[in-house]
Structure 1
Amino acid sequence: MSTRTTSPRRAAGASDRAESARSNRRRQAATHPWWFAFPAFAVLAVFFFLPTLFNFVYAFTDWSSFKSAIGFVGLKNFETLLSSGDIQRALRVTLTYAVLVAVFQNLFGLLLALLLERDTRVNRAARTVFFIPVIMSALAVGYVFQALLKPDGVVNSLLSGISGHTVDTAWLGNTTWTMLVVALIHAWKWMGLPMLIYLAGLKTISAEVLEAATIDGAGPWTTFWRVRFPLIAPAVTFNVATALLGSMNGFDIVQATTAGGPARSTELLNIFIFRTFGQGLFAQATTMSLVLFLVVVVLAFPVIGMLRRREDVL
């Protein structure tokens, strides 16, 4: 008897909810028409979708500043790049730079988040100070460090004063460690962003979970490695992904500090593309940018997928 009376009521309630949802959608469409978004989509189409489309097209042409006409050449640009060996070297430098930046940037950000986790007045001020480089111009940061790290710069002057003898190390002129120095500069500039992301992740961890770990006898290191670090896995995924994508498309800091030197040891693919465009070889430069796009898709996104699967395991 109850089934006969409640089923129609449930059906009527579901029908009312569906009708209410349709009414809300109609009301929202009336008050928030889609054509309001047209200017944003138009700007996106003109400045993103069209250039991306033409990037694919011009990679298969002989477009340059030395010709008035543009002709189709097929895969000739790719064959030229692969045979010269320049693209392999630039890709190797770019991948090395991206891995170093991702490691340093996340390490610095996580350490800062752990050091400044407590909500004290000093820590809040320190967070602001460490975030300032994020909003600074990357070119400005590069030129400042280029001046500091010259053989007669401030860094060597300080080291000379501390050690008591003259130090004239060319920090940006050695093929052995210049890549490491430039990656550290990049990580220093952006470490404030992962710091905030890690801080947000640490703040979401329940105090009861940490208390339970302490009661079970876990020390600070065990609590961090076994409890806190797995719980901030989404923050790790986001920070690693942004660091990899940002550094693989790096240009400004390296251009300002070393311009790809010494001996092209820090010549990222974007710097190589910039120089090729400057030589008037537009099609070859476009081909290189297409290669960079494909490398990011092939390498970076599988890493992001691996990190996401790690989140599910943890």
Structure 2
Amino acid sequence: MSSSSRKARRQRAPLVWALPAVVVAFLFHYAAVAAGGWYAFTDWNGLTTPNYVGLANFRAILTNPDAVGALVNTLSLAVGFVIATNVIGLMLALALNAKLRSRFFLRSLFFAPVAISSLAIGYVWQFILEARGPLNTLLGLLGLQSLQRVWTADPTFSLWSVWLVMVWQFAGLCMAFYLAGLQSIPVELNEAAAVDGASSWRRFRRITFPLLAPAATISISVTTILGLRAFDQVMSLTRGGPGYASETLTTQIYKQTFVFGNFGYGAAFALVLTFLVLAVSGTQLLVLRARENRL
């Protein structure tokens, strides 16, 4: 057997090994998603035979104020979440990239919430934010009784209570992305700039921040998807209430499908969310990659 034929055989082998996993993923993921997408165009209630209704479910979503409100809440929560987690994560990474003796312990401490169940974190924070919870107790001790409220039951603050919990949980994930980026930057670049008299801010703006572009691309893309798909935190803290104040697309999918039995309508919500995630994250990725190439 010639060397070229042996090489071609070795190249084909990994593809054969991957084939069973590809088939399983197609059957249990992509085929299921495609079937769910078809139900979005029907009036299926989970029991009877589905009837094709065309775009009726999508028209109902666009004309329903509660559905439009859920879309606005989803986008507001995602934008605030992406900005806050990336700013805080970057600040933590810059602080813990220094040679502190406790830096490894602090990195683990800030990253720990990422590894904990979102539902568990939501229920803990529900206790913290309730009427007689630790937060209101602390505000009372500080003489700030005017700020006390039932945070998750207040229409003005319920959505931002969810935002607070999500930022607290995932800021450590962004920190890990930015730490990896910082540790890939050659120390000599900053040292040479310092010798030339560049200030800390100028070194950060001209050297560190541009070289963090790949880490920023990953961090922003991941947090965008997490923000748009937020579900566990909303359900454990507010269940979309009070009223529809903290309703999101994910909670609408759950309620319409499993609470009200409107499987076709719920599938339409799921399809809207899928295309929203693809459109936002795809556009974002293209813009951030283009920015990387310009730097």
TM-score by length of 2: 0.93
Structure 2 partner of 1:108: 88
CA offsets 1:113-136 (integer angstroms, 9 cap, x no match)? 011112444110111111111110
Matched residues in 2 for 1:27 and 1:113: separation? 42
Q: 1:208 aligns with which of 188, 199, 205?
A: 188
- Please state if 1:288 is matched with 2:269: yes
Matched residues in 2 for 1:164 and 1:79: separation? 47
Structure 2 partner of 1:25: 8
Aligned 8 A contact 2:66 2:244 in 1: no
Aligned 8 A contact 1:104 1:184 in 2: no
CA offsets 1:160-206 (integer angstroms, 9 cap, x no match)? 22338697422222222332232121011111211111011111111
| Letter matched to residue 150 of structure 1 | E
Matched residues in 2 for 1:124 and 1:21: separation? 49
Aligned 8 A contact 2:256 2:262 in 1: yes
Structure 2 partner of 1:80: 60
How far did 1:263 drift? 2.8
Matched residues in 1 for 2:26 and 2:281: separation? 25
Q: 2:71 aligns with which of 91, 95, 100?
A: 91
Structure 1 partner of 2:103: 123
| Letter matched to residue 107 of structure 1 | V
Structure 2 residue ranges without an equivalent (≥5): none
How far did 1:70 drift? 1.5
TM-score by length of 1: 0.87
| Letter matched to residue 60 of structure 1 | F
| Letter matched to residue 292 of structure 1 | L
Structure 1 residue ranges without an equivalent (≥5): 1-18
Taking only the aligned residue pairs, the percentage that are identical comes to 36
Q: Which moved more, 1:296-305 or 1:246-255?
A: 296-305
User: Structure 1: which 4+ aligned runs deviate by more than 4 Å?
Assistant: 19-22, 164-167
Number of residue equivalences: 293
- Please state if 1:176 is matched with 2:156: yes
- Please state if 1:313 is matched with 2:289: no
Q: Which moved more, 1:36-45 or 1:136-145?
A: 36-45
CA offsets 1:133-172 (integer angstroms, 9 cap, x no match)? 1110000000100000101001111222233869742222
Secondary structure of 1:191 counterpart = helix
| Letter matched to residue 153 of structure 2 | G
| Letter matched to residue 190 of structure 1 | F
How far did 1:92 drift? 0.7
Aligned 8 A contact 1:100 1:180 in 2: no
Q: Alpha carbons of 1:165 and 1:237: their partners in 2 closer, same or farther (altered >3 Å)?
A: closer
Matched residues in 2 for 1:21 and 1:191: separation? 50
Secondary structure of 1:163 counterpart = coil
Secondary structure of 1:176 counterpart = coil
Structure 2 partner of 1:53: 34
- Please state if 1:62 is matched with 2:43: yes
Matched residues in 2 for 1:111 and 1:226: separation? 17
| Letter matched to residue 151 of structure 2 | W
Structure 2 partner of 1:43: 24
Aligned 8 A contact 2:139 2:148 in 1: no
Q: Which moved more, 1:285-294 or 1:112-121?
A: 112-121
Matched residues in 2 for 1:165 and 1:95: separation? 32
| Letter matched to residue 302 of structure 1 | T
Aligned 8 A contact 1:152 1:168 in 2: no
